[in-house]
Homo-oligomer: A and B are copies of this chain.
Amino acid sequence: MGGVPGAGKTTVINKLKEVLKEDVFVVNFGTVMIDIAKERFGITDRDAMRKLSRVKQNELQLAAIDKIVELEKGKRYVIIDTHLAIKTPSGYMPGFPKELLEKVKPEIIVLITARPEEIWERRHLDTSRKRDLESIDDILEHEKINIAYLMAYSAMSGAYALIVRNNNGKLEDAVNRIKSLFYDGEK
């Protein structure tokens, strides 16, 4: 599951945890990466991590994939909270590299999105995180890029690609949309 900062991914996931309870196991890709970054490079900040050299970022990403494969063993439903594309100084870094698609084999890749103005506003209101303040045009570009990556990942892996709109006041709908994906074919 991915989405640009401010799309409301974390909020949606927290609601899903409340609803699905022990049936679902949530793992945050960035948190796994930063835990490894701490050990290996002494880094503590997410934004500092995004500014590491490409070689180091790739190393962290691969290590995180292996960690996740280990963590999800024996779990029934797993949600990976991540980004479809990470914006770095060298350009977009694919969030679901081939290795992840092959090792983790996601069944559905979900993109959480919202109206660009809403995303912009949410970022400005959120003072708890150190977020790059981008223009609405930048947000629109990132969205387009996310959709292109989403379809590429889906084409490469055969996973379903689901776009869920989390517009203001529609959180319930977004959560229900994703909830309906679980227990498919078991009812």
Contacts from A to B (Cβ < 8 Å): 52-56, 58, 85, 88-94, 96-99, 107-110, 141, 144-145, 147-158, 160-163, 180-181, 184-185
Contacts and interface: CB of A to CB of B under 8 A. Distances in A.
A interface, over-half SS: mixed
Contacts of A55: 185
Copies of the protein in its oligomer = 3
Contacts of A160: 54, 88, 90-93
B56 A161 contact: no
A161 B54 contact: no
A6 to B, nearest CB: 20
A96 to B, nearest CB: 7
B94 A108 contact: no
A163 B88 CA distance: 12
B158 A98 contact: yes
Contacts of A149: 151, 154-155
Contacts of A54: 107-108, 160, 184-185
20 contacts: A52-B185, A54-B107, A58-B158, A85-B161, A90-B160, A91-B109, A91-B160, A92-B151, A92-B160, A94-B151, A94-B154, A94-B155, A94-B158, A97-B158, A98-B158, A145-B163, A148-B151, A149-B151, A151-B152, A153-B155
Contact of A91 (B85, B97, B162): B162
A39 to B, nearest CB: 19
Nearest to A147: B148
B156 A91 contact: no
A90 B184 contact: yes
Nearest to A96: B155
Given A91-B161, A92-B151, 7 more contacts: A53-B184, A90-B108, A94-B154, A96-B155, A145-B147, A148-B150, A152-B155
